[in-house]
Amino acid sequence: MSKSAKSAAVYAGTFDPITNGHLDIIRRARSVFSTVYVAVAGSSSKKVWFSAEERVAMVNEAVSEASLSESVVVQAFDGLLVDYVKKVEADVIVRGLRAVSDYEYEAQMAHINRQLASEIETVFLVTSEDCSFISSSIVKNVAINGGDVSRFVPGIVESRLKKEVEKSK
């Protein structure tokens, strides 16, 4: 299948902050889909450190720093993910799986999304082995406790995390 014949996909999350694991999924999704929309959830039930605008900026910078900008569009969204997917005329939701423990939640979300919009497919990508233990929550916990997060996040994120930790002291 030529790249022009491939579908557009949406990879959504809070990205608070974006990690190397997220970049791994974006990189791999780009090889499968013609366009990857990275949809940064504006409102969330999760307590976030960074505003939606800050997270969009960090994702854009991280994607650019990793030379992934071509065919990647980063936008904030609010509301139902399936509504956003329809708005950007994509047909696939990409979800990353780090471990078996992620599967139950992600499968549940895929089933709900299928009930809301049966024309939208969910595709799971298993993270690369070297990223399988990385999560935004763990990265924030390491940062709060003065640990080195440089192996887990892009450089731009590392500096923003340090500033955020300093502000909270």
**Catalytic amino acids?**
22, 46, 98, 136
User: Which of 37, 41, 35, 38 is closest to 77 using CA atoms?
Assistant: 41
The DSSP secondary-structure symbol of 118 reads T
What dihedral do alpha carbons 49, 46, 89, 96 form, nearest 10°? 90
**What residues have CB less than 8 Å from 103, skipping those under 6 apart?**
97, 124
The DSSP bridge partners found for residue 36 are 9, 72
Query: Which amino acid is it at 45?
Result: S
Sole residue written with tokens 């497919």: 121
User: Which of 68, 8, 12, 10 is closest to 33 using CA atoms?
Assistant: 8
